[in-house]
């Protein structure tokens, strides 16, 4: 993906995705960036990574230090650049839907002579974006990753089509990664769970590795936040908070009046079906990205505000 004004001289949009150039991933010790190692694979575009974690080696070296066997990464992987075209009101070169898939990469570090990606596979066939991982599990290999999806394409092929989220997804990535390795899903186009949105929604299996909260018809959600239960016994025991909006409140031209209102829905993250509570907001909150949830304890522990900038006082002038 390039952002280059000279693309326009070549008949391309200023933001251009080159599907003929390989993608490269760089891994380096954060305190020794000059030791970067590059891993090359098929072309793709990644806007959001979900989580990355180390896999320690089974053996300890002579200095009694735990070596890293590999680095694993879960990310949202696109195969074209239409998402950025859509967001930037740029006409896409190829009219195809732009849906990302949740994808797993494993970069082997123990082989110092060759940089290999030992696993690369889609964990699910459904569109998936805006991945959410509770901070406590972000760098330790989370079991569950939450995100946004849609019964239609998340991004339309034509410009100006906004991101429409009517499904919130909970994915047991560790189960799907293990299944993919057991089934030897090695192809870059391989997919562990090939079901579509409706097939997953229809599942009654309480142990299903993918669970979906389906918004009522005409309602759209925003990127959720995960809030752990105070007495949580395991990962995933908590709630999803998301802002919801009923599209029927818009007029014939798609405009919102001063009377339109959004709602904050609290969803049980264990079953991804039960709406625990709805909080009616005094006004509409436009669709947007990213947020954060703070507990009362975190708010109470905030440091008091201190003014850091002061006006420079002029020195008195001498006679």
Mark the binding-site residues, compressed into ranges: 48, 290
Q: Between vectors from CA 69 to CA 62 and to CA 1, what angle results, nearest 5°?
A: 140
Contact 27, 39 (CB under 8 A): yes
Beta strands across the sheet bearing 144-149 = 129-132, 144-149, 167-172, 210-214
Instruction: Please give the Cα distance from 214 to 272 (Å, whole number).
Output: 9
> Which residues 6+ apart lie within 8 Å of 124 measured at CB?
101, 102, 171, 176, 191, 192, 193, 195, 210
Characterise 75 by phi-psi region: left (phi > 0), alpha (psi -120 to 50), beta (else).
Answer: beta
What Rg do the C-alpha atoms of the chain give, in angstroms?
23
- Which among 283, 265, 282 is positioned nearest to 274, based on CA atoms? 265
- Which among 27, 187, 51, 42 is positioned nearest to 112, based on CA atoms? 27
Q: Which residue shows structure tokens 């109470």?
A: 300
- The tokens for 26 are 């760089």
> Which residues 6+ apart lie within 8 Å of 111 measured at CB?
none
Binding residues for Fe cation: 48, 290
- Burial tier of 170 (Cβ tally within 10 Å: 0-12, 13-18, 19+): buried
Instruction: Please give the Cα distance from 255 to 16 (Å, whole number).
Output: 32
């Amino acid at each position: 993906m390039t952002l280059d004004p000279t693309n326009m001289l070549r008949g391309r949009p200023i933001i251009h995705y080159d599907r003929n150039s390989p993608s490269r991933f760089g891994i380096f010790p954060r305190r020794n960036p000059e030791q970067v190692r590059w891993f090359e694979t098929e072309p793709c575009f990644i806007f959001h990574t979900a989580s990355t974690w180390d896999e320690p080696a089974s053996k300890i070296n002579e200095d009694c230090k735990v070596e890293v066997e590999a680095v694993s990464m879960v990310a949202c992987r696109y195969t074209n650049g239409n998402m950025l075209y859509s967001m930037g009101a740029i006409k896409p070169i190829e009219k195809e839907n732009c849906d990302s898939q949740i994808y797993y990469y494993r970069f082997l570090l123990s082989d110092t002579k060759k940089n290999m990606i030992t696993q690369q596979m889609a964990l699910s066939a459904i569109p998936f974006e805006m991945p959410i991982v509770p901070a406590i599990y972000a760098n330790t290999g989370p079991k569950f990753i939450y995100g946004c999806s849609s019964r239609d394409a998340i991004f339309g092929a034509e410009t100006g089509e906004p991101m429409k989220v009517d499904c919130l997804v909970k994915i047991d990535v560790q189960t799907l990664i293990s299944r993919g390795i057991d089934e030897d899903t090695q192809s870059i186009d391989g997919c562990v769970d090939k079901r579509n949105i409706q097939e997953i929604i229809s599942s009654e299996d309480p142990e299903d590795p993918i669970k979906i909260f389906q918004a009522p018809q005409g309602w759209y959600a925003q990127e959720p936040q995960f809030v752990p239960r105070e007495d949580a016994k395991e990962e995933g025991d908590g709630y999803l908070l998301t802002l919801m909006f009923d599209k029927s409140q818009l007029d014939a031209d798609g405009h919102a009046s001063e009377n339109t209102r959004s709602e904050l829905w609290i969803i049980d993250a264990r079953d991804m079906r039960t709406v625990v509570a709805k909080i009616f907001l005094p006004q509409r909150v436009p669709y947007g990205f990213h947020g954060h949830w703070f507990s009362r304890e975190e708010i109470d522990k905030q440091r008091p505000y201190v003014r850091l900038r002061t006006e420079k006082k002029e020195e008195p002038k001498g006679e």
